[in-house]
Structure 1
């Protein structure tokens, strides 16, 4: 029996998804119909075969993760640069992170009980300071390894944790979209992942279950674990679950079987284990929540794992009450962990290749509330770290806290999509037109963050072909539709979910223009109703997608 999975998004939302581009020759109506009928991600989540799904056996909840399409993309990249995303979950208070010294009196009046005393602050410049809990960052700032991007947000900011998180992950404030920035890029760039999974995990995500940033239409494209202990177990042992010490009973048999299935689904466990064993930490990180995560990430990087995008999570920054102490503890973990992280990397000369950046779903209000805390707000700073920044500094304009928006919040001065565009184009060196495409056709002026791709000799990055294909349904018939950009020999094959080829639907020269194949009639063999994957190959490239055969 198939049970409803509460983590899955309502299919009605998929009908509101923005078009992937004006050049598509297949209608949005068919695209929406396909997703309403069948979503491989939804199916795999329901079975518990991806990071946000779970299987319950005898009351035991077991989580698993799927391989990532990011692997082929980033493993084949011309750059060895690494991006570490540090999610400050819950909504970080920007005014108590970067304190506006130039307007200290107004800041102090607005926060009589949660303000920092002026003489306790460390001045990054005459205009801005950081609280005592962030003292470990003084050396990073002094060594030119830190930048602050002021007032990051977007128009009409959502004050909801869930919607705000989705907006930051999808880069789409205006409509509901359940794909993420990285998910869209790699889904288009490496379209044959379902049949030809890569060998090395390019993205690793710790925590932030359900975050969309690595999600595409087909699956979540990051190797995901719920917490650092899970990743450490995998790194040390090559497996997630113990399959030897289980009860000697029927439940034990079931539990052992499911654990073995889940261990197998962690395709990259042995690769992660090898990298982990190849390196060690050169510094003591401490026991903080973020410290444990960055210690593991540093060891992966130093061990030559090859992963280029990491997401780590620190929370909760939802400081409605008792903010001064709780927020300081979080900032202390952040600051000490980042400092140790770069000291660790620089012990082997790798700090210049790693860029880290914080982000949070929103900031907090200017004025404190009646519980010695702050409520949900809007704009907040992004902190960036790494030798690749080439100098310390401030980017953008700090919000005028004496001139808030109509809701009493700091008005944003830097669009968060501008930050994304700069990092994607100038740090990861992704083709500019492709970045504009995954940011829904918008071009954002790059920020001066101190790095570019010219330093690596990268002047041109290959773009995707824009080949359009999908499954459509009419009555009890299933069709594959695609548009040939040129005349070429085309092979269309059908695979089951184990990756075994079921048969060929087409293998012949095909003229330029729209094509439509009836799956059951074309394959000439009996097919059971169920989920499959089709693969279209021509001109040395292959494209695959999930499909429901009725």
Structure 2
């Protein structure tokens, strides 16, 4: 079958989104390992701006209690992590993992000159930018290629977000589910169809995608039984991630998303429901990967475009804010509280919470300390994260 450029593009658009592809990837993907033997990252985006103060809660802080007359969580509404800080009681399963050393809470994450637009701040988090400088490539895209150059795909998104994966090279795929990945049809072409010049470049990219998709489908066509997959909006996306991981397909990074965090009004029960959904989906994912032996080589990172302000508004909600805590969850990390909780007695203008750690310090730690590849965020390296990942320093934690 002759494989034209137009037919190639149409077939991709009709099935799933495939982004970027360096012709050099063609040689690598032919050497594809039989199974994934590397580490992997799952990014959970909490879209809308998660309220960090009601996630990791300063339950004894007078300013917090006074400024949130209907939203503040009392001691009875949290699970205490220490004498000053608790975790939302709807995150009870994450609390269990925290006390088992499998959850790290990175406090006070943000960036200088914050942007309060959902679209712009999300874009900044996707590329590792801030209010003064931005980049044009997804923050993890280059690192995923360096870590696993012969991956079937360097990243798969089961949400509508490809931001962390934007890159001119590599193979990054957006799909609704695993069935859609199995059904991608790119047609057939061979290297003897290559020509010189620009047409050859297009053909090599198409052929590289063809090899990648076939390699991915080879793993996915071996169907596994998954009796206890998570459900719900987030759980269904994570269920697809689990299927790919347990198929043995070499894919280092996955992206999923939970929406609904823009809680300008009636926040209390809306946020509680979202916390409950995150809690269950993460624990179900963890249990599935423990059973299949993949948990110790997996980490989960939560992100959100910004936090919320300390003061609740007249609609019993909170408005767009700045710094917020995030989670890194995994079977081979050193859990605990990292960094400093924001000082609620020393707020920025507009009652915004001041950051205590640049969020790109987390990106740098994942790239350098977890994946052990070169990081473009090296200047944000933070010593407070240096012992986060097992294998960087110290001895492996023994879990019960």
* TM-score normalized by the length of structure 2: 0.79
Whole-Å separation in 2 of the counterparts to 1:284 and 1:452? 27
Answer yes or no: is the 8 Å Cα contact 1:91–1:361 preserved in 2.
yes
Whole-Å separation in 2 of the counterparts to 1:98 and 1:290? 20
Per-residue CA shift, 1:492-547, capped at 9, x if unaligned? xxxxxxxxxxxxxxxxxxxxxxxxxxxxxxxxxxxxxxxxxxxxxxxxxxxxxxxx
Q: Evaluate the alpha carbon distance shift between residue 267 and residue 132 of structure 1 in structure 2; reply closer, same or farther with a 3 A threshold.
A: farther
- 2:73 alignment counterpart: 116
> 5 Å matches for 1:249-288?
268-276=212-220, 277-285=222-230, 287-288=231-232
Superposed displacement of residue 358, structure 1: 0.3
Higher helix share: 2
> 5 Å matches for 1:393-542?
393-430=336-373, 434-435=374-375, 438-439=376-377, 442=379, 444-446=381-383, 447-454=385-392
Superposed displacement of residue 81, structure 1: 1.1
- 2:41 alignment counterpart: 83
- 1:223 alignment counterpart: 173
> 5 Å matches for 1:148-187?
148-173=105-130, 174-185=132-143
Whole-Å separation in 1 of the counterparts to 2:72 and 2:109? 22
Whole-Å separation in 2 of the counterparts to 1:318 and 1:179? 26
- 1:64 alignment counterpart: 17
Per-residue CA shift, 1:289-345, capped at 9, x if unaligned? 111111121222122111111111111211111211211111111111111111111
Superposed displacement of residue 220, structure 1: 7.7
**Do residues 366 (structure 1) and 316 (structure 2) align?**
no
Alignment counterpart, residue 209 of structure 1, candidates 137, 142, 161? 161
Answer yes or no: is the 8 Å Cα contact 2:158–2:240 preserved in 1.
no
Whole-Å separation in 1 of the counterparts to 2:273 and 2:171? 32
Answer yes or no: is the 8 Å Cα contact 1:66–1:267 preserved in 2.
no
Whole-Å separation in 2 of the counterparts to 1:66 and 1:84? 19
SS in 2 for 1:135: helix
Whole-Å separation in 2 of the counterparts to 1:443 and 1:131? 29
- 1:291 alignment counterpart: 235
Whole-Å separation in 2 of the counterparts to 1:292 and 1:449? 33
SS in 2 for 1:306: coil
Per-residue CA shift, 1:234-265, capped at 9, x if unaligned? 25xx2159xxxxxxxxxxxxxxxxxxxx9x97
Whole-Å separation in 1 of the counterparts to 2:42 and 2:321? 25
Answer yes or no: is the 8 Å Cα contact 1:67–1:267 preserved in 2.
no
Whole-Å separation in 2 of the counterparts to 1:272 and 1:305? 6
Higher Cα radius of gyration? 1
Answer yes or no: is the 8 Å Cα contact 1:111–1:367 preserved in 2.
yes
Answer yes or no: is the 8 Å Cα contact 1:183–1:221 preserved in 2.
no
Higher relative contact order (CA 8 A, sep 6+): 2
Moved over 6 A (4+): 47-50, 73-76, 264-267
RMSD value, Cα: 3.4
Q: Evaluate the alpha carbon distance shift between residue 450 and residue 48 of structure 1 in structure 2; reply closer, same or farther with a 3 A threshold.
A: same
Q: Evaluate the alpha carbon distance shift between residue 202 and residue 178 of structure 1 in structure 2; reply closer, same or farther with a 3 A threshold.
A: closer
Q: Evaluate the alpha carbon distance shift between residue 307 and residue 371 of structure 1 in structure 2; reply closer, same or farther with a 3 A threshold.
A: same
Per-residue CA shift, 1:161-213, capped at 9, x if unaligned? 121112112212223432222334467x59xxxxxx956113111224352x2
- 1:348 alignment counterpart: 292
Q: Evaluate the alpha carbon distance shift between residue 419 and residue 65 of structure 1 in structure 2; reply closer, same or farther with a 3 A threshold.
A: same
- 2:58 alignment counterpart: 100
Whole-Å separation in 2 of the counterparts to 1:171 and 1:317? 21
Q: Evaluate the alpha carbon distance shift between residue 399 and residue 117 of structure 1 in structure 2; reply closer, same or farther with a 3 A threshold.
A: same
Could you tell me which runs of 5 or more consecutive residues in structure 1 were left unpaired when the two chains were aligned.
1-42, 56-61, 191-196, 242-261, 457-550
Alignment counterpart, residue 321 of structure 2, candidates 371, 377, 385? 377
Q: Evaluate the alpha carbon distance shift between residue 376 and residue 278 of structure 1 in structure 2; reply closer, same or farther with a 3 A threshold.
A: same
Superposed displacement of residue 366, structure 1: 0.5
Q: Evaluate the alpha carbon distance shift between residue 282 and residue 316 of structure 1 in structure 2; reply closer, same or farther with a 3 A threshold.
A: same
Q: Evaluate the alpha carbon distance shift between residue 411 and residue 443 of structure 1 in structure 2; reply closer, same or farther with a 3 A threshold.
A: closer
SS in 2 for 1:279: coil
Whole-Å separation in 2 of the counterparts to 1:266 and 1:112? 58
Whole-Å separation in 2 of the counterparts to 1:208 and 1:397? 33
* TM-score normalized by the length of structure 1: 0.59
- 1:139 alignment counterpart: 96
Per-residue CA shift, 1:28-63, capped at 9, x if unaligned? xxxxxxxxxxxxxxx99xx6787xxx67xxxxxx76
